[in-house]
Amino acid sequence: MSPRVHTLSNGVRVVCDPLPGWQTVALSVVAGRGARFEDTRRSGWSHLLEHMVFKGTRRRTARDIALSLECVGGSLDAYTSREHTVYQARVLDEHLEIAADVIGDLVFEPALRTSDLALERNVVLEEIGMVEDTPDDLVFELHNAAVWGDHPLGYSILGTRDTVTALDVNDLKQLHRRAYTPSQLVVAAAGNVDHDRLLEILQKTGWTDRPAKEPRLARVPRAKASAPTRDHIHREGSQTHIVLGSATIGHDDARRHAMVLLSVVLGSGMSSRLFQRVREELGLAYAVYTFQTFYATSGVQGVYVGTAPRTADAALAAIEKELADVAAHGLLDEELAQGKGQLKGQITLSLESPTSRMYRAAAVVLYNEPHRTLDEMLALVDAIDPDTVQQLARQYLAPDAQTVLMLGPKARPTRKAGPRGTPKRR
């Protein structure tokens, strides 16, 4: 059964993927606002607003919010991405009305008090500090900034210490009024609930009572990546963390399935090229993998490896050699077949999760794309042809197209021994 899409009288769009026979429901509301819509002065404000709504509403304290779903065995959380802010719950089907009421309360009626901001600002500053103290997280932030330069896609979702410290409650209230208008919200559900029942619950819990407003959309320049760079930022530690990657196609490009397949073959799992070469054959790293993110009209792909400072250059060279080979020759026939099998298995397994199906339903609305059955999705994977794969590899995987960011100690040069094994002296 295909998900149905319905627009409420005030502009909230609703999509539901019913799964009869299940006992749970995943419910989310997606606001069309994230880090991409900020400027340097407002960096991190969307994320801090997401934190602040959990500090209390007109009807609930922070403790009430925490207890609302946990006391019935459910879960409630949220996250901010570069293009969206998401509030989501997972509950037994009999508790869907509670989940809809709580999420609606969070989205429409946050208290946004000055006293709460003083506390939550410190929490976010601690979160920023945690990233700064975690090099395998920080290296991705630094690499992302290097890829996108001064475009908002390069900003940290968390913001900076200065931007988080600078805002006040009035700033958050203005952002809330702009970002959480009904026409910018998408409600998505998957599990044991049908579409009509979901609409009844949303009406009963006040979702249709919110007045329609014309959204004040921020103007964001089309993403344009910076020229590739190579940088090594010195930092004490036992490992050098390396990310190399480039800007690539977005969710609106039909070739994204081929791009995902490239990523799977190169660095997803123990059978991947990079795992087999860098870890199994050369023993240069414990962790090496590819990553892939699609935004609406652009994206980013790359490779991460963590290795000892003395082997960092060797690990980077091994990765670049594999990238160069794929860029020049594409994938072998057996690799293409293996990648398709792996990707089809991942897609099929993901549909066993109500949360994954909820995200998939939301994408139908967010990206204005048709809903596809499992057979149709698998057929798209089967249709990936070698020429498209090689074209993408040539364009995006060539080593000279990669921005390289290394974070960690720089290897100390070895000193050549002089006569009788004594060190040379100047």
Catalytic residue numbers read 50
Q: Which residues contact 120 (CB under 8 A, 6 or more apart)?
A: 48, 51, 52, 55
Dihedral of CA 156/350/299/406: which sign? positive
Residue 256 corresponds to which amino acid? Answer: R
Distances (CA, A) of 80 to 31, 86, 410: 9, 6, 34
d(CA 33, CA 47): 10
Q: Are 299 and 250 in contact (CB under 8 A)?
A: yes
Q: Are 306 and 134 in contact (CB under 8 A)?
A: no
Dihedral of CA 101/120/128/35: which sign? positive
Calculate helix-pair angle for 135-148, 114-132, nearest 10 degrees. 100
